[in-house]
Every structure is written in C-alpha cells, then in structure tokens.
Amino acid sequence: MALQIRIFSKGFGALLALKWLFTCVHSIMSLQIGFVSKGFGALLALKWFFTSVRSIMIFQMAILSKGLGALLALKWLFTCV
C-alpha cells in the first residue's frame, strides 16, 4: 500500500511537472505570436506604404514623360520655325 501511494505521488509529481512545462510553453508561444502579429501588422503597413509610393512615382513619371514630350515638341517647333 505504501509503495502504491509512493508511485501515485511520483505520478502526480510528474503530472504537475508536465502541466507546469506546458503552461510555460503556452505562455511563451502566446507572447511570440503577439510579437509576430505586431510584426505582421508592421510588414503590411510598410508594404502598403511602398506600394502607394510606387504608384505615386509611376503617376509622376507619366506626367514627367508627357511634359518632356511637350517640351521636345516645343523645342522641335521653335527649331523648325
């Protein structure tokens, strides 16, 4: 009977140790997932920012190329006249 109680107490101690281990691992993983989600949000914000800047730059380059075309046409016109 004493042996069974000792085995039971060892099993209970092992169960408590495992529960403590998985609780610690769960809290660490929750913390890391929080960091990842914050990092993911920052990554999405940066991607949106650079996509917006790229589209603005493409628009400005189109305006610049139209302006350059007009400038060349005027230069050609005044050179011919």
Most distant pair of Cα atoms in the chain: their distance: 118
Cα(43)–Cα(29) distance, integer angstroms:
20
Residue 64 reports pLDDT greater than 70: no
Q: In this predicted model, what pLDDT tens digit does every residue of 22-46 receive, in sequence order?
A: 777 777 776 666 666 677 777 777 7
Looking at residues 54-59, what average pLDDT do you find? 72
- The pLDDT assigned to 23 comes to 76
pLDDT computed for residue 44 by the predictor = 75
pLDDT score recorded for residue 5: 58
